Copies of this chain bind each other. A is one copy, B any other.
Amino acid sequence: MDPRFNDYLHARRAEIEAALAAVLPSPPDCPAIVADAMKYSLTAGGKRLRPILCLASAEAVGGARAEAMPAACAIELIHTYSLIHDDLPAMDNDTMRRGRPTLHVVVGEGMAILAGDGLLTEAFALMARAPESSDPVVCTRKLHVIGVVARAAGACGMVGGQALDLAGGASTAQEPPTPMTADELRAMHARKTGALIRAAAVAGGVMGGGDDRVIAGIDLAATELGLAFQIIDDILDVEGAPGTLGKTTGKDAAAGKATYPALYGVSTARAMAAACLDRAERHLEAVRLGDSRLIDIGRWIVDRSN
């Protein structure tokens, strides 16, 4: 990785960590028992890909990072809640995440569900209040972004994708699970991981004041980056060391889940991710964002080892 881009990632992460620490509710407003649980998961580390993408998108369209920081944090709260709920015994039943026991192992299932609910709800409280402004333009952007993020996170997006994943290929409760086809796998991931990554990029563009055409280009690019992210995630689940990833690996294969390397083999899957990156770059170049940090972030998504 370009050392300057590495510095950039470090600087962004430090800003984001500080902003996240400031947005979590705390006693006496919020009972300590649930505030502590929310904090445990939110401060567990993580790449902070989505907020970094959000801020980069705001800057790419000529906006200031401060305008997009609340949305960036809100999206990370939503991502964190989704991990807590996905890790529950009733879902993926994961006991390790980011090198630490998952939240339900530490505080119990009920409190983990509530901490997830609290993070999701706090995300919307945050986007409604910040950045504080009585300017009608900012107000319109905030409502636009709340709508984008809610649709991406909800039953038509991330929650729907997780439901499809959980149902294992069945489309109704009556139908038995069947192995997913490549198209179904892609559609499931477009919801489960793609939608929120797209929303992060779009939210940054909207808060930064990008025009509709540029934001449409960012959305197309982020769609490709979301798919690349998932392909690489699947490859890392096969190849990665648990110590590097901080979570159990090889689970997808063990569960007989359809994954990109299982369907296409690792080298074809890697080539698919690289093709996504190429398409993303072309979408960005088409809206004159070919020299933005969004390109570097795309390369990082494809080249990452955790």
Contact = CB atoms under 8 A, between A and B. Distances in A.
Contact of A34 (B107, B116, B117, B159): B159
B117 A159 contact: yes
A140 B170 CA distance: 42
A137 to B, nearest CB: 9
Interface in A100-135: 106-111, 113-118, 120-122, 124-125, 127-129, 134
A116 B116 CA distance: 11
Given A121-B155, A125-B150, A30 B172 contact: no
A34 B85 CA distance: 15
Nearest to A162: B114
A238 to B, nearest CB: 25
A121 B195 CA distance: 14
A170 B33 CA distance: 8
Interface in A131-165: 134, 136, 139-140, 142-144, 146-147, 150-151, 153-156, 159-160, 162-164
Contacts of A139: 136, 139-140, 143
Nearest to A155: B118
B110 A91 contact: yes
Contacts of A144: 128
A240 interface: no
Tell me what chain A mostly uses at the interface: helix, strand, loop, or mixed.
helix
Given A25-B156, A128-B143, A160-B118, A111 B167 contact: yes
Given A34-B155, A154-B25, A113 B91 contact: yes
A32 B171 CA distance: 6
A120 B122 CA distance: 12
B159 A29 contact: no
A109 B91 CA distance: 8
A36 interface: yes
A35 interface: yes
A125 to B, nearest CB: 4
A38 B160 CA distance: 11
A118 B164 CA distance: 13
Copies of this chain, complex-wide, total: 2
Contacts of A121: 120, 150, 153-155, 159
Contact of A32 (B32, B38, B122, B172): B172
Nearest to A191: B31
A158 B33 CA distance: 14
Contact of A33 (B85, B91, B111, B171): B171
Contacts of A142: 143
A193 B106 CA distance: 27
Given A34-B160, A91-B113, A134-B140, 5 more contacts: A30-B160, A33-B163, A114-B162, A136-B136, A139-B139
